[in-house]
Amino acid sequence: DYPKDILGCWKMVDIRYEVKSNYPYIDALADSLNVIDSKESLETGGWIKFLEGNILQSFNNNGRQRGLDNYYRIDGDSFFAQNSIRDDDKQTSKMIIRNDTLFLEASIPEAFDDFLLDLRFDIKQEAPDDIKLEKWIRYTTFIRVPDCD
């Protein structure tokens, strides 16, 4: 089952990371990404500016949605997303909807792998193989928008 208030269109407006690892560069990089609403990030573009325009399209009446690149499914308070281009890219987030705002919280290893792979510069090549994560949480916030155009 799924909450009926997920139906509609959603626009990403914020993304935040909480990271603690044995690799200081990863921690510092995650801190630097927590700037989606800063003037500098809007001017310089980059992937954060791209994410701002990422629309989570309207859900149909069975709590599922297939977009251009992603497939979403809602089950209770869990939000499941799968990238249809990269078959191994599957994430489950804890979901809260409050006052036309959708909050997703992901703390799974796949979210960290996406972080390494999706950056414009591929730090996965430079990062040591023995990275240990004490904490990896991604918080994503969407607001309801009137249409999906």
Contacts of 132 (CB under 8 A, 6+ apart): 21, 22
**pLDDT value for 46:** 44
What is the span of the domain harbouring residue 80?
A: 4-145
Contacts of 136 (CB under 8 A, 6+ apart): 17, 18, 19, 21, 107, 109, 111, 112
Given a contact cutoff of 8 angstroms between Cβ atoms, the answer to whether 34 and 115 are in contact is no
Question: What is the per-residue pLDDT across 29-68, written as a single tens digit (0 to 9) for each?
Answer: 666 665 544 445 445 544 444 455 566 767 765 667 766 6
**pLDDT value for 95:** 92
More confident of the two residues 87 and 16: 16
**pLDDT value for 122:** 52
Question: What is the per-residue pLDDT across 64-123, written as a single tens digit (0 to 9) for each?
Answer: 776 666 778 888 888 888 776 655 567 788 999 999 999 999 876 666 666 665 544 455
How many domains does one find in the chain?
Answer: 1
Q: Is the pLDDT of residue 148 over 60?
A: yes
